[in-house]
Amino acid sequence: MEKTASKKKDTKATVNWEAEEYLQRDKRAGWYIGFTIVVLVLVALSIILQWWTFTALIVLSAIALIIYSVRPPRKLHYSLTSKGLSEGNVLYSYDTFRSFGVLQDGDKFAIILTPRKRFSPRVTVYFPEESGEKIVDAFGMRLPMEEVKLDFLDKIVKLLRI
């Protein structure tokens, strides 16, 4: 009897929301000019030193970064169930995470999921402020909450407006 009641409770605990997959930061003309100068300097240096593989890597990386920075973020559908966090068709089981935390970036809020595996990346999920309490409560029922801060790489990405 109790197992049936708890399953019904888990099914009711489903929380659904939509949010952008990442924050798109404003880039003015100066950003693109600076980026182009850095790329040209690196390409010139690699040509002078005859590092052809490095030259190709710089050019491909620059193209990929420009495409990524111009592409608008997709709106993704998220839901929390008894099994885990579902992001579109991908399911992240609660068992793969050690803890979670809430991070505020300007007027945007995000849940940061810390994985159990040492070298796995953290999962960042943005959410609307009005759904925040339900989302944090749903995660709190299954994972411990801890304070999260931007790591070194996140700070660099934010500084470079990528």
Q: What is the DSSP string of 36-98?
A: HHHHHHHHHHHHHTT-HHHHHHHHHHHHHHHHHHHSPPPEEEEEE-SSEEEETTEEEEGGGEE
Report the C-alpha gap between 20 and 23 in whole angstroms.
7
Answer whether 134's CB lies under 8 Å from 15's CB: yes
pTM: 0.73
- pLDDT tens readout for residues 71-84: 888 898 999 888 89
- pLDDT tens readout for residues 58-72: 999 999 999 988 888
Most confident of the ranges 5-9, 48-52, 68-72: 48-52
- Is the pLDDT at 10 greater than 70? The verdict is no
